[in-house]
A and B are shown apart, each in its own frame.
Chain A
């Protein structure tokens, strides 16, 4: 055996990791944070943050928040139901592994191909749009558009639902059979069991994952960009328009919008991990 090393020597083992993370994750974020306090003519100022209250920025944030809330709630609901159906709902076993693998695929199938798939399905000349038209109903005449709040939400659900399924399945597996049997022995109906035992135990996990979904949708850029060509009022798209756009060009404001976004994402991940830890007490 070698003699025990100096305590300081231990740090060399993790040095590359910290250097690399500083160069490519922490450093770039810190420089944006710093530049977000810089005015158009240089000098430190809060102007960029004051401009966050301008109508354009507020409406972009508003749209991002609306879409994220909607897809977090709907994605959470349908994801939970699907996870429940394949885990406790007595469906044939293979459906569960198919659902798991498919959820892995769909939750990573975001971006350009996802946008393209929905354009071919529900775009102006999409296959389903045409099909519905052939029954004498034109969805685009009746106010539907893929390139709107509704359309974008519909597309986002394609990666939101599977993420919910992937996180909820282990949680549902954590429900102990004893609890159900104990409840039944005490004369509880299945409804009462769910209301008073299962749902309260699952609630932190459900809420936490829905907050995770919120962040997941809030930070999504590629799908929205590919679907709308970047011409949609969304916080992620606004960053690009302000920093590298020709029409709107105010990098400082773009950096401030970006910082606002990082703060919202950090909060959602933080709340998620707190709630997840709480639920592990019961379900771990």
Chain B
């Protein structure tokens, strides 16, 4: 589920196609408007609702209440830390793997690619019960305390990011001459850690950003796994809020949408910049 980017403007059709072209454009607009209304209505309604927290006037009271809610900031910051940790962990595993597969073990590529796609095959609700079954009792007891569960959660999130991370890192590696860079570094006496850290990774920075941002967007509000692992992150917090408050959840939904939009907007911007260079 990749994000394809950058519009390719199409040249005008030859004049012969003039007559059907008009019909084309009208039906395109109709489709665009109908689907557009379906997508904008829930967002507009939620935004309108979020402005009505104070009786008789429109204002940002719901947002003020949300941000001053005692549960919000801890959950939010915990989710951010989890997301950043998961992204870092995922990079530490995927970058060397993708590099090594490209350089030395191209035959292993289908296997690695297949494994990175497993998060699409194993639904979150299935994976979390597998995790609980495996780590919920000796000998691998890891769910005993909140903090060890949290470490487990971050590991699962890192695994969930594999499909996105592997693909963007691999695309980045394709764009550079991995073999020559490696041979040059080796002949200068660099070891593998130095090569990865000082040669490969700096060249991948832009490529990994899209994978990292996508992971961030998915992990920040993740609900199912956090719920069954009893973590106090943003997802379960939002669900609680939806049950217990009237206006704050609408502000929350708008904020969540804005975060997702920011992440995706940055990805679109980055890939457009890269194409234009």
Contact = CB atoms under 8 A, between A and B. Distances in A.
Chain A contact residues, majority secondary structure: helix
A142 interface: no
A90 to B, nearest CB: 5
5 contacts: A17-B112, A100-B5, A117-B42, A120-B49, A239-B129
B253 A120 contact: yes
Chain B contact residues, majority secondary structure: helix
A272 to B, nearest CB: 9
Interface of A: 1-2, 10, 13-14, 16-18, 20-21, 23-29, 31-32, 35, 78, 81-82, 84-91, 93-97, 99-102, 104-109, 111-122, 126-128, 157-158, 161, 163, 166-167, 169-170, 173, 184, 190, 215, 218-222, 225-226, 229, 236, 239-240, 243-244, 254-255, 258, 261-262, 265-266, 269
Q: Most A CB atoms within 10 A — which of B49, B94, B186, B272?
A: B49
Nearest 10 interchain pairs by C-beta:
A28-B130, A89-B28, A219-B123, A13-B100, A127-B45, A113-B256, A85-B28, A222-B223, A121-B45, A17-B97
A90 B28 contact: yes
A2 B185 CA distance: 11
B259 to A, nearest CB: 9
Contacts of A1: 183, 186-187
A112 B214 contact: no
B68 interface: no
A88 B7 CA distance: 12
Contact of A31 (B29, B100, B130, B183): B130
B258 to A, nearest CB: 10
Contacts of B257: 105, 109, 113, 117
Contacts of A35: 133
Interface string B116-149: 0111111111110111011000000000000000
B264 A101 contact: yes
B118 A116 contact: no
Interface in B194-222: 214, 217-218, 221-222
Given A16-B93, A17-B112, A166-B3, 20 more contacts: A13-B99, A13-B100, A16-B97, A28-B133, A81-B31, A85-B32, A88-B10, A91-B25, A97-B272, A105-B264, A107-B1, A108-B260, A112-B256, A184-B16, A218-B123, A221-B124, A222-B124, A240-B228, A265-B121, A269-B120
Contacts of B175: none
Nearest to A102: B39
